[in-house]
Structures are given as structure tokens and as C-alpha cells.
């Protein structure tokens, strides 16, 4: 049986990609400390994560953000001027609360804590990036990072993110991010590491 070739070329995501993106991100975040905190059951985590990311994508990021994907990864970016619109609205929070069940209050507290630590300067925000572990090492996540960072650099703006997985910190540092500190989520939750990347002059500029 011939293995199917998977391209890591970034493409703009549309609403029609919601189901596949939900599946990809569910697998990508299966071992993420914050997602395991939100979805503690091993038996139902992947299904819950799929619904969680599909809801965020269809209700918020595909409408107000810049969403890209490859055959095995996806990224949601929020450009300056769209931050307020990309924050989950009441309807989205209600939908996510239904998915999260009794973990919903922890999600709301975590969202408030992360928002309170957000930067005030104009910036691009990397809300989500993840690659299917089955495609690890094929450059899918890196391709999406480079694509979004190039847009921020072209605008001369910094990029912010919050990482909830310690193993990812060196990866982001390789792309120029610096850890700004630590945010301990309430209710015994995991640690978030806010990170910033200063703008770089585009090649040839």
C-alpha cells in the first residue's frame, strides 16, 4: 500500500475545512497540559477536543482571524484590530460550556486570566497552532508559523502567544520568541508561558 503524500504548504482555511481542522487539532492537543485539564477523561478527550476546536474555528477565528492549514496542521492568528472580535462571544462561550460540562467554570477563569495578561501594544496574536503527531517532523507546524510570522513582519508588528506545554518553549524560541513570565491558572490549573517575538525586517526590504 502506497503511503499518501501530505503537503505542508499553508493554505487559507475556510468554513468547509472545519471538520478536518477539528480532527487535526484534537490529535495535536491530546497531550497538552491545559487541554488535559479541561478534558480529564482519556476516553472522551479526543471527541471533546474535536468539538471544542471546531466550535472556536467556526464561530470566531474563521470569521475574524487569519486561519491557515496544511494537510496535517492548523493555525489560528488574530491580526491587530480584530482582537476584541476574536474573543469568544456569549454564544461561543455557551457552546463551549456545553462541551466542557463541569469543567466550564475552569475554562472561563482561565480565559479571563490569560486575557488579563495580554499585551496592550498593537500586535499579531497566535491563538492556536498544532500538528497531528502522526506527521511529526514533516514541517507542517513550522510552515504555518513561518507564514504567519511573515505577515506580522511585513506589518512591522510583534507577535504574542501563550504556551501551555513546556516542551514547546524551545520550539518557539527557535522562531524568535522570548518568554515574558509565567501565569498560573486558577483552580490548580497548569502554567501558561506568555511569549513575545519582536518584528523582523523582511528579507529584501
CA–CA–CA angle 122, 161, 125 (5° rounding): 40
Q: How many residues does the chain have?
A: 205
Would you state the pLDDT for residue 2? 39
Query: What would the 3-class secondary structure string for the chain be?
Result: CCCCCCCCCCEECCHHHHHHHHHHHHHHCCCCHHHHHHCCCCCCHHHHHHHHHHHHHHHHHHHHCEEEECCCEEEEEECCCCHHHHCCCHHHHHHHHHHHHHHHHHHHHHHHHHHHCCCCCCCEEEEEEEECHHHCCCCHHHHHHHHHHHHHHHHCCCEEEEECCHHHHHHHHHCCEEECCCEECCCCCCEEEEEEECCCCCCCC
Q: What are phi and psi of 73, to 5 degrees?
A: -155, 165
Domains of the chain: 11-158 (3.40.630.30)
Would you state the pLDDT for residue 187? 79
Would you state the pLDDT for residue 86? 62
Would you state the pLDDT for residue 51? 97
Would you state the pLDDT for residue 1? 35
Question: Exposed, middle or buried: residue 104 (CB in 10 Å: 0-12, 13-18, 19+)?
Answer: middle
Neighbours of 86 (CB within 10 A): 20
This model's pTM is above 0.85: yes
- Each of the 205 residues of the chain gets a pLDDT tens digit; together they read 334 457 899 999 999 999 999 999 999 999 999 999 999 999 999 999 999 999 999 999 999 999 999 999 999 999 997 777 666 777 888 888 899 999 888 888 777 776 666 688 899 999 999 999 999 889 999 999 999 999 999 999 999 999 999 999 999 999 999 999 998 887 788 999 999 999 998 655 5
Amino acid at each position: 500500500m502506497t503511503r499518501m503524500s501530505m503537503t505542508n504548504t499553508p493554505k487559507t482555511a475556510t468554513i468547509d475545512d472545519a471538520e478536518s481542522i477539528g480532527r487535526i487539532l484534537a490529535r495535536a492537543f491530546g497531550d497538552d497540559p491545559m487541554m488535559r485539564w479541561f478534558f480529564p477523561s482519556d476516553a472522551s478527550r479526543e471527541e471533546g477536543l474535536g468539538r471544542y476546536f471546531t466550535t472556536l474555528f467556526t464561530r470566531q477565528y474563521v470569521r475574524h482571524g487569519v486561519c491557515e492549514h496544511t494537510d496535517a496542521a492548523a493555525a489560528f492568528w488574530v491580526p491587530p484590530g480584530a482582537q476584541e472580535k476574536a474573543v469568544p462571544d456569549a454564544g461561543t462561550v455557551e457552546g463551549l460550556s456545553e462541551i466542557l460540562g463541569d469543567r466550564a467554570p475552569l475554562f472561563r477563569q482561565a480565559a479571563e486570566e490569560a486575557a488579563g495578561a495580554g499585551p496592550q501594544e498593537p500586535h499579531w496574536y497566535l491563538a492556536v497552532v498544532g500538528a497531528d503527531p502522526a506527521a511529526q517532523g514533516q514541517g507542517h507546524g513550522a510552515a504555518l508559523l513561518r507564514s504567519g510570522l511573515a505577515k506580522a513582519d511585513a506589518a512591522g508588528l510583534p507577535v504574542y502567544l501563550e504556551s501551555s506545554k513546556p516542551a514547546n518553549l524551545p520550539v518557539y524560541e527557535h522562531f524568535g520568541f522570548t518568554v515574558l513570565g509565567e501565569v498560573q491558572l486558577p483552580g490548580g490549573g497548569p502554567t501558561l508561558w506568555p511569549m513575545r517575538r519582536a518584528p523582523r525586517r523582511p528579507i529584501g526590504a
